Amino acid sequence: MEDAKGKLLESINNPDDLKKISVDQLEDVCQELRDYIIDVVSTNPGHFGASLGVVELTVALHYVYNAPYDQLVWDVGHQAYGHKILTGRKNQFDTNRKYKGLSGFPKRTESEYDAFGVGHSSTSISAALGMAIASRIKGEEERKVVAVIGDGAMTGGMAFEALNNAGGENADILVILNDNNMAIDPSVGGLNKYLLNISKSDTYNRMKHDVWEGLGKLDGFGKKARRFIQKNQHALKNMILKENNLFEAFNFRYFGPIDGHDVRYLTSALNDLKDIPGPKLLHVITQKGKGFKQAEQDQTKWHAPGIFDKETGEIYKCDCKADQAPKFQNVFGDTLVELAEKNDKIVGITPAMPTGCSMNKMIEQMPGRAFDVGIAEQHAVTFSAGLAAQGMVPFCNIYSTFMQRAYDQVIHDVAIQKLPVIFCLDRGGLVGEDGPTHHGVFDMAYMRSVPNMIVSAPMDEIELRNLMYTAQLGEINQPFSIRYPRGCGIITDWKKEFEKIEIGKGRKLNDGSDVALLSIGKTGIFAQLAVKSLAKNDISAAHYDMRFVKPLDTEMLTKVMQNFDQIVTIEDGTIQGGFGSAILEFMAENGFTNKIKILGIPDQFIEHGTPEELYRECGIDAQGIVDTVKQLVGKTKAI
């Protein structure tokens, strides 16, 4: 991809090279950087709109600050592609999110310029504060620390906890609020309205611009006057906006809002802010997808569009396989609406992922009964608990990896009170190219350890549909977890009549005599393929789809233990404490000594790659199951 880089970008291998370029050339650098991101991501899919929106900010930060000595912390990391390109990874950028290639997020082990590993939102201010305090303790007075956080991530409670702490400590930290009125979907809530009021105050912004430009034309006195206004502008804001500034209430000096696509002005403002001590917040207005027309117009669709034509904007990504089996998330979204039409107590809740989890279907059709609460998983769970306490039937849909952030609320606010909240955990298991920060491999282990919790995982679309139906019948007065994978299922004709599933009951899918395969969730699909392959090798494998991790089907398990010496458990979750561990506990409690092999995610963080590559690495794909069974039963005939 050498020909894709512009002449200026070609000469930049690190931030020191960038600093050799004149301020007058920075706009050209930004254009070349934006073009390069478009060129690479169009053929190697990744997060698109977020990085385009911060090109100018990224260039300005690396032009002004002395990274890696100065610490630049990116919140979430969707927007860090430009940062990676400018910090020595330009020629490897076409491996981004590929197996054994660059991570799609900042990662400390990948580069010294990645000050903090990220992937989940709202962490940047806390991390930056820790770094700033460490620098204070070590006497590193010249080191600067900057956190870049979006308006969507700012809705997370952790961000406000950090602001409160940083203001109280009077820490020397700069928080840059990258305000584009978007998370993945449009930002919501009171904070969003507050930021819009600030950014759209024509009176204040016009006066600020006119005064600033006028002072800049004055020799000598002008620069001092500018700094005086920077340090005291809150009084001007309060007078014009007729309200106190939220961030100044946290003891942060607030600057802005300014145009986040004016790279010259950004570099000037950042240079001035370097000399101002204490906690500061710079409010920057940007446009997600800036510089690519289609991404500007449909920012949700172009958050991560897949492969596309960079000239026409046509997206080539196929949503599902040719047989048109639906995505699990769409089965959830359609089924939720169907159930809600029949049960007026059903309410939908999602923390800022309505499109990703297909809750948008219910939000559009029943806006008073479905809620996007912003990036606030803890609140989403306790909000759901409050609804359940008043007799509603909340379907709380959270990605498995993000549910980890609300674990205390699951225990304290839901399970202890035995409230019937239905947790629908999307993206359960290995999710692919987003890597370890997004793999949903812990939920079966952490959910099954909670008293009063039902833990289930459907193998296919029909099972998901029926588990959702069963959970909302009102017959179970306790929390119910349903986890399902990212991507498409295997059944095209999935809209069947609802059937109640007996809690804690599995199903036998294949008879066999040599070995028993016990699967949970999506791994049942792999087990089915393995059964066919093993039969070609004269190995007779029985297959049981257990459906529930808690409670287990003890009657079925007893029969399995009595009839099979060799047993293999398969899960798309962590081995430690997961489904296989539950089977071992059952065996120990009941005196069974069968030979058992547990297949799942090992005790390590799995890196990024396609799901197929990662399943193979962990040995839970069809071939991995076949290899394990052949070794277990002592047969080595080749397939």
- Angle 347-155-108 (CA atoms, 0-180°, nearest 5)? 120
Partners of 282 in the β-ladder? 176, 255
User: Is 343 annotated in some ligand binding site?
Assistant: no
Tell me whether residue 44 is annotated as binding. Answer: no
**Is residue 569 within 8 Å of residue 636, measured between CB atoms?**
no
CA distances from 536 to 509, 540, 634 (A): 18, 9, 15
Choose the catalytic residue: 288, 448, 465, 522.
288
Cα separation of 186 and 51, whole Å? Answer: 17
Token pair for 304: 């991560």
Residue 217: active-site member? no
Task: Give how far Cα 49 sits from Cα of 94, 98, 304, Å.
Answer: 17, 19, 7
Consult the annotation and say whether 283 binds a ligand: no
121 is in an annotated binding site: yes
> Rg of the chain over CA atoms, in angstroms?
27
Set 405, 465, 483, 550: catalytic member: 405
**What does the longest C-alpha to C-alpha distance in the chain come to?**
92
Whose tokens are 């939720």? That residue is 336
152 annotated as a binding-site residue: yes
Concerning whether 90 is annotated as a catalytic residue, the answer is no
Cα separation, 11 vs 19, whole angstroms: 11
- Exposure of 240 in the CB half-sphere (CA atoms within 13 A): 17
Q: Check if the beta carbon of residue 375 is closer than 8 Å to that of residue 183.
A: yes
Is 153 a known ligand-binding residue?
A: yes
- What is the phi-psi region of residue 176: left when phi exceeds 0, alpha when psi lies from -120 to 50, beta otherwise? beta
Q: Is 120 annotated as a binding residue?
A: yes
Contact call for residues 59 and 270 (beta carbons, < 8 A): no
Active site residue 288: yes
Catalytic, out of 32, 56, 377, 461: 377
Choose among 563, 565, 583: nearest CA to 573.
Answer: 583
Q: Is 180 a known ligand-binding residue? A: yes
Task: Say whether 399 sits in a helix, a strand or coil.
Answer: strand
Q: Strands 541-545, 507-510: parallel, antiparallel or unpaired by DSSP?
A: antiparallel
| Binding site listing for Mg(2+) | 151, 180
**Catalytic residue ranges:** 288, 377, 405
| Binding site listing for thiamine diphosphate | 78, 119-121, 152-153, 180, 292, 377
